[in-house]
Structure 1
């Protein structure tokens, strides 16, 4: 069957992306964004409508004379995707629609770090999720995304994953052979940043930062509507940023760095040392909210460190929007006041306001990030009949 590969490599993919991110969107707005005439827009959108990927939403009356407009949107249930987040001890997966909205989830522990064992866990999660969904079971599973803490080459090969002890593992190839669907692999912070760019509260913003708080501290950046990546992406360099010269040490010996001040293990350990027992992270937050003096001092210090980190980011990259995410972002309600005060103190008094969005979906946000990478990959591979 003939395909419009040339168009799909450019303008038609841009059209699909705009509708996916911004729909329902009027044809006039699409035309302005893409520089397309009404005739070209009609021609390019027709195959998407015929394949059931686009739908026309309810008519809206134009401001002046003319025919009612029918905004375009994607049919979000036209395809299913699975996103899998791999940590050092478990795999967490979500089944999503075309906008990375989770419709089901599942998790399994990793028996060990052997590649074959991890692949079997991921495959079992994917099989579990698609067998419980009629659309995915009927062939509507369009792709799988996997996110991992470490370095990934070309969304195919895990070149370094310290939590798993992996080097140069062709994970996408192995999983594709096992699952029979396209697989895209990405660094976890890059994947989450992609999800925030396409489907999060900052979508439509062409420059913003993402800060994640969890087992470590992650930093992602979008500039000119592109996720910024370098060969060092995956090293967690944002976690080494010095924030408090009197703070605790991280495992690498950095005093008061982002990891030492904000990561879940460090915050729990600080209160644990003070109380002489192990203290789960959730208890630290609960004690702080209840006014426990030691817990409060720890979360206030973390808030000041976070505010300073936000100020560094805004001052040096000149973005005015930051998304906070990760499984440890429950810190925000108890640290918000001290964070905002530190942010203001480290900014020029005449500098613009930094808008902060909080993604409080917890650990599931990482798996949604993996699904977003799969959605992005499916769009890049899309072929439509002529």
Structure 2
């Protein structure tokens, strides 16, 4: 039986620390857990016991130790299939869904094209997608109580509302309430970039870092920030919106109302608009703009160069302010990195404050299903207080 749907799995700080570390890096011995968390061996054993009893952790067979080093140790590991989590990413034209296990490994995926983007239509389609995913195997439905939803824009996670999202064109939608009623699951709503940042910090490039930044480029420009091992939300839940840093006071007006935002210059739509105006080709699509740039068209190349400069300045601003150990750049825009990557690096190096430029930029191509996985991780977070 799964724990009560409305309560976190762990509540004591020691239990939280043990489970969080094992989710990312199990198996680990009790000695290693004590060293990494600063807890005593007794505290580790006490914290692990209820998680073992509930089936979330298990002991592996004893490991051999060197002669004279004492008795063999039994490493602790997460029982991955103890509980499952559904994740759904709402993009501009598609719902991407997955079922993940406790260690965020994707077990199955599915998607549905979006036609009508109204909240009611999207929620109905989302509920159908969740049902399809859970019906893949009997154990998924029996052991799933959490659903995470990732969507772009201004998301109020605490209240479960999408305050503003430009891609589906929503304002003040009580998404968690609607979907919870339709699916019977506990629903967590999260900004898609913040969800991806947590996923990369817990399970990807950010493992082991205390200061970490993730930047996404493509249809939108987003970013997430980790400080002291915790995602920075800010007082109003919108911390880390690099896409809305103004880098050109004389630049184009952004959909947010500000002038010269990184997103207004460097998003896919912004680049396409610039190329269309420069070439007079109003029916040109983004792939056509890419082909022009790769063929040497100066207007198209200039649009991508300007975008790269804006992104580089934006990343430099984040890195100079936060001083991360590592910065990951991802998103569908990586497909065109050859057109603006050099400009990103040039602007990044030029605008970072001295030693901050030592922070490496790691390119991390991710499939759309990875965004759904990050939504499932938002559900895994619900296990914690």
Q: Same fold per TM (> 0.5)?
A: yes
Are 2:249 and 1:211 equivalent residues in the alignment?
Answer: no
Matching residue of 1:239: 243
2:185 maps to which of 173, 181, 188: 181
What is the distance in 2 between the residues matched to 1:26 and 1:282? 51
Are 2:121 and 1:117 equivalent residues in the alignment?
Answer: yes
What is the distance in 2 between the residues matched to 1:370 and 1:289? 35
Q: Structure 1 residue 339: deviation in Å?
A: 1.6
Matching residue of 2:347: 342
Q: Structure 1 residue 246: deviation in Å?
A: 6.7
Q: Structure 1 residue 259: deviation in Å?
A: 0.8
Q: Structure 1 residue 157: deviation in Å?
A: 2.7
Q: What are the superposed Cα offsets for residues 323-358 of structure 1, whole Å, 9 maximum, x if unpaired?
A: 222232323344222222221122345545112223
Are 2:67 and 1:46 equivalent residues in the alignment?
Answer: no
- Larger CA deviation: 313-322 vs 240-249: 240-249
Alignment RMSD, CA only?
Answer: 3.2
TM-score (norm 2): 0.85
Are 2:332 and 1:321 equivalent residues in the alignment?
Answer: no
- Larger CA deviation: 183-192 vs 236-245: 236-245
Q: What are the superposed Cα offsets for residues 45-85 of structure 1, whole Å, 9 maximum, x if unpaired?
A: 23333433223446544466223333322132332211112
Q: What are the superposed Cα offsets for residues 213-272 of structure 1, whole Å, 9 maximum, x if unpaired?
A: 122211221111111113543598422223346755544675542012221111222233
Distance 1:316 1:6, change over 3 A: closer
Q: Structure 1 residue 16: deviation in Å?
A: 0.8
Tell me the secondary structure at the aligned position of residue 230 of structure 1.
coil
* 8 Å Cα contact 2:96-2:372 kept in structure 1: yes
What is the distance in 1 between the residues matched to 2:331 and 2:63? 39
* 8 Å Cα contact 1:269-1:279 kept in structure 2: no
Matching residue of 1:20: 23
Tell me the secondary structure at the aligned position of residue 301 of structure 2.
helix
Q: Structure 1 residue 123: deviation in Å?
A: 0.6
What is the distance in 1 between the residues matched to 2:355 and 2:302? 30
TM-score (norm 1): 0.85
What is the distance in 2 between the residues matched to 1:124 and 1:378? 25
Are 2:374 and 1:369 equivalent residues in the alignment?
Answer: yes
1:108 maps to which of 105, 108, 112: 112
Are 2:92 and 1:96 equivalent residues in the alignment?
Answer: no
Matching residue of 2:269: 265
* 8 Å Cα contact 1:158-1:166 kept in structure 2: no
What is the distance in 2 between the residues matched to 1:58 and 1:240? 52
Distance 1:165 1:333, change over 3 A: closer
Q: Structure 1 residue 8: deviation in Å?
A: 3.2
